[in-house]
Structure 1
Amino acid sequence: MTLQFPFEHTYAALPANFFARVAPTPVASPRLVKLNRGLAVQLGLDPDQLATPEGAEILSGKRLPEGADPIAMAYAGHQFGHFVPQLGDGRAILLGEIIDRDGVRRDIQLKGSGPTPFSRRGDGRAALGPVLREYIVSEAMFRLGIPTTRSLAAVISGEGVMRETMLPGAVLTRVASSHIRVGTFQFFAARGDTDGVRRLADHAIGRHYPELAQADRPYHALLDAVIARQADLVARWLLVGFIHGVMNTDNTSISGETIDYGPCAFMDEYNPAKVFSSIDEMGRYAYGNQPRIALWNLTRLAECLLPLFSDDKDKAIEQAQFALGEFAEKFTAAYQAGLRAKIGLFTKADGDEALVQDLLDAMTSNQADFTLTFRRLGDVALDADNDEAVRGLFINPTTFDEWAARWRQRTALEPQTPEERREAMHRVNPAFIPRNHRVEAVIQAAMNHDDYAPFEELLTVLSKPFEEQPSFAAYADPPEADQRVTQTFCGT
């Protein structure tokens, strides 16, 4: 039976300079290693059919499904602050769009499916390791409740890809509400193509913010909406200790989803200056810099939209600056509300920000584990006899004791019971995150031994991050000294 993908192609209907038509390059012998069956059902696809050899051929790009109109999208971008006027999908090909069961339009894209006109001397392929990393982390982010692209499938290509050494190749099928980036707007703005910027803005409004189409100033409203979503997204990242690693403008989605999981990582011990990406030598995209960089990226988007704001450049700049000025307030509101929830506060009071910041400062100086400190704090809220579980995370436990005394004074002002406080804290403080040493162990087992049992087990654990899972308790533990992962790497 032929697989049915009810594709639509609104992006491919835009002018020809928005993309390049290109078919995936067939791979040698595709083998499905993971299918996201729940996501397939959500997309209205038959998971049993996708799990067949024919399905593996489609999910690897060896065979095109009926109705596909494969394209590589054009975009530009600032990479580590340096502008590149043409980037584009160098190893990703968009097959088409599907309306899911909730009525949401989703892109179906193959990542690692061969070279495109935007590959810039690259091979257009992906190694198995980065494909598994993106599958694990993107699905973990989804379960953590953070807006994200998702992974439908991972397929071994049956071919090697050359990086520093020869590595097994793979293809990821990625699902996104769209792949429109800040860099997509920059592609047209850099060419002085105001009509292209306008067409793209109209498309983005229609796809992501249809309620803005009737606004008095729809392009201003678009910028406002993207700012709001980015402020909320980055706040959510910080609240779970996530470091994106490459917050280039071409990796900043205007839909407000986390996109492009390259050298990303989750912190173990808390440190605002923490960097994992091997290519971020100056710490531009360190954990604590992410809000500042998000605003920087949004400023680049605002620059692209200036011609749509007003023919008077000074007036347009003033309007853009006003919009950008809202970012700090929106981010701070989302971040501080999240931090209050993490320490079990149900109300807002003077001194709360200082109380939380003092805890974070103490965690930094004591190298306390970010995830475990907040998770175990919920148990401390239930019973003071549980203090030792958090004290033991601090080099100097009395630092926690001093903070905890103030915290208890603050929580005593609220009527919630200890049980209610613990339950609320455990709803927002995960027990399980994709710890770097666990992700690395999974990748090594797959690459060196063709063993996917660790991969499957890790996905099982991460599918319920807020639940106690006694049989998998070890997955909550931070790494031992010899297990630490200090650098993560880009898939290219």
Structure 2
Amino acid sequence: MKKLSELIFNNTFSHLPAVFGTPIKPQPLDDPFLVSANPKVCELLELDPVQTSTEYFINLFTGNDQHSAMAPLAMKYTGHQFGQYNPELGDGRGLLLGEVLTSYGQKWDIHLKGSGLTPYSRQGDGRAVLRSSIREYLASAAMDGLGIKTTHALAVLSSNTPVFRETVERGATLIRVAESHLRFGHFEYLFYTQQHSELKLLADYLISNHFADIDSKADDATRYRQMFNTIVFLTAQLIADWQAVGFAHGVMNTDNMSVLGLTFDYGPYGFLDDYDPGFICNHSDYSGRYAFNQQPNIALWNLSALGYALTPLLEKDDIDHALESYQILLQQAYSKNMRNKLGLKEKREQDTPLFANLFDLMKKQAVDYTLFFRTLSSIPHAELKTSSHHFQPLFKNLAPLEVWLSLYADRLEKDSLSDTDRLALMRASNPKFILRNYLAQQAIEQAEKGDFTLVEQLLKVLQNPFDEHPGFATFAEQPPEWGKTLEISCSS
């Protein structure tokens, strides 16, 4: 494990031409202090966790000190926001500080959110607040714990700097760590400004730094086709994973879409409590464009926008072929995820109506999505047809559930998986804990009063959400009614 001063930086993105961003230093926060640091992310960077509590760490990541090997850069990109192209986007409140190179050859972007004004801040102040920083910090840990590709958060820091939103809040920073911060919007920016040579340069950069499976000796047409095919595949896998765990992103603009298939830019996200396929987690999304059940289609829309931006590099037939594969890839990944959730090894024709009947039942009775599957994961096959009482707190009417449980038990008889292996698979596929909005809100309210205990407890539990954590059973309970109706917006 290393000290901060011993980290090795290889800032490849800052070596690209000036059109890719603007060098700028973070603006200091007043009287900064550490809220929480994630030791698992320290391990990714080979950073000694003790370093996160040092004065140098706190000052460095609140703009009050500098690291000689960092090259802070506000990245320039554009994108489609709620379906409309916006040419004015970019890192408006964050900076790519540098890229850490580990001893095993992995490169990690270090990005500071809440770092102050940049040329792309528009009418904003370039700041982040403690509330949104804690939400992203916990969400990225939760998604990683669930095994879903995501950016990571090394730490949250706060300060006495006032930031004005609906009320006066504490200025904060979040240290985001990711394999790359390249977005669909990076390619859109270069396409719409007709910088086609730079577009090609960015594609080459992406391939050489992140898509090692693409043959560097292949001709350009082949490499770019494989690049887009890979992005389509990664995006389909990501959306399948979101849908299986009941995660709604809330703002799937193209500037919030990672070319590496990472869950990216956490804002008004939400996990399903009661099963509602039309769940809208962003109260600013008046049309429901980014509702939970719209995410698969929106991802395809975004991929189409990316494909259009790549037309200087790709033939139309290659773009269309890749886009046509998306639905198949998504369905394959989602079907596998759902079979795992129900402990089914083989795929059979009757599985589709079995899933559909279950979702219809859960919707009609507003059943807690996570608790249903977790409860089902503990019931042996021999007890299924008489097990409806286990679901008493979740269902208003158990009779339809009893019918479904009987069909499910019959289906299991046609599967080759042993009951022991089935239950183990289900417990490894159905988390006991998710980051419910009301828990995040309680952690925020305590943190704003200087108590970070709940932040730390949630971090510990969410990093291993499939474990029992007997001391924290209340985190797995159904939320109170007020906890299901919290309004979350894009406000940072």
For Structure 1 versus Structure 2, the TM-score category normalised by the shorter chain is: over 0.9
Task: State the distance in 1 between where 2:264 and 2:228 align.
Answer: 19
Shift of 1:64: 1.4
SS at match of 2:446: helix
Task: State the distance in 1 between where 2:4 and 2:86 align.
Answer: 42
Q: Which residue of 1 aligns with 2:331?
A: 332
Task: State the distance in 2 between where 1:461 and 1:123 align.
Answer: 34
Amino acid at match of 1:7: F
Are 1:60 and 1:113, in contact at CA under 8 Å, matched by a contact in 2? yes
Amino acid at match of 2:109: D
Are 2:438 and 2:486, in contact at CA under 8 Å, matched by a contact in 1? no
Task: State the distance in 1 between where 2:467 and 2:48 align.
Answer: 30
Are 2:96 and 2:109, in contact at CA under 8 Å, matched by a contact in 1? yes
Task: State the distance in 1 between where 2:24 and 2:4 align.
Answer: 23
Task: State the distance in 2 between where 1:143 and 1:268 align.
Answer: 18
Amino acid at match of 2:430: N
Worse overlay, 382-391 or 354-363: 382-391
Are 1:379 and 1:386, in contact at CA under 8 Å, matched by a contact in 2? no
Task: State the distance in 2 between where 1:2 and 1:218 align.
Answer: 37
Rate the CA distance shift 1:215–1:487 in 2: closer, same or farther, 3 A.
Answer: farther
User: Is the counterpart of residue 222 in structure 1 residue 227 in structure 2?
Assistant: yes
Task: State the distance in 2 between where 1:351 and 1:365 align.
Answer: 21
Task: State the distance in 1 between where 2:144 and 2:436 align.
Answer: 16
Q: Which residue of 1 aligns with 2:117?
A: 115
Task: State the distance in 2 between where 1:45 and 1:473 align.
Answer: 32
SS at match of 2:56: helix
Mapping 1:10-409, distance limit 5 Å:
10-212=12-214, 213-216=216-219, 217-309=222-314, 316-381=315-380, 383-384=383-384, 386-409=387-410
Rate the CA distance shift 1:61–1:330 in 2: closer, same or farther, 3 A.
Answer: same
User: Is the counterpart of residue 441 in structure 1 residue 432 in structure 2?
Assistant: no
Are 1:215 and 1:221, in contact at CA under 8 Å, matched by a contact in 2? no
> Per-residue displacement from partner, 1:204-243 (whole Å, max 9, x unpaired)?
1111112213344111111000000000001001111100
Shift of 1:347: 1.0
Amino acid at match of 1:270: Y
Are 1:381 and 1:421, in contact at CA under 8 Å, matched by a contact in 2? no
Are 2:131 and 2:444, in contact at CA under 8 Å, matched by a contact in 1? yes
Amino acid at match of 1:405: S
Amino acid at match of 2:195: D
Amino acid at match of 2:348: A
Q: Which residue of 2 aligns with 1:420?
A: 421
Gaps of 5+ in 2: none
> Per-residue displacement from partner, 1:247-294 (whole Å, max 9, x unpaired)?
000000001111100001101011110001121111101111101000
Task: State the distance in 1 between where 2:239 and 2:104 align.
Answer: 25
Task: State the distance in 2 between where 1:233 and 1:101 align.
Answer: 28
Rate the CA distance shift 1:466–1:101 in 2: closer, same or farther, 3 A.
Answer: farther
Q: Which residue of 2 aligns with 1:482?
A: 482
Amino acid at match of 2:465: P
Gaps of 5+ in 1: 310-315
Task: State the distance in 1 between where 2:417 and 2:190 align.
Answer: 54
Worse overlay, 463-472 or 383-392: 383-392
Q: CA RMSD in A?
A: 1.4
Sequence identity (%):
38
Rate the CA distance shift 1:344–1:45 in 2: closer, same or farther, 3 A.
Answer: same
> Per-residue displacement from partner, 1:457-484 (whole Å, max 9, x unpaired)?
1112212200112221111111122333
Count of residue pairs the alignment pairs up: 485
Shift of 1:102: 4.3
> Per-residue displacement from partner, 1:184-205 (whole Å, max 9, x unpaired)?
0000101111111101111111
Are 2:4 and 2:47, in contact at CA under 8 Å, matched by a contact in 1? no
> Per-residue displacement from partner, 1:147-187 (whole Å, max 9, x unpaired)?
00000011112211000110011100000111100000000
Shift of 1:391: 4.6
SS at match of 1:3: helix
Amino acid at match of 1:486: L
SS at match of 1:306: coil
Shift of 1:322: 1.2
Mapping 1:431-470, distance limit 5 Å:
431-447=432-448, 449-470=449-470
Q: Which residue of 2 aligns with 1:429?
A: 430
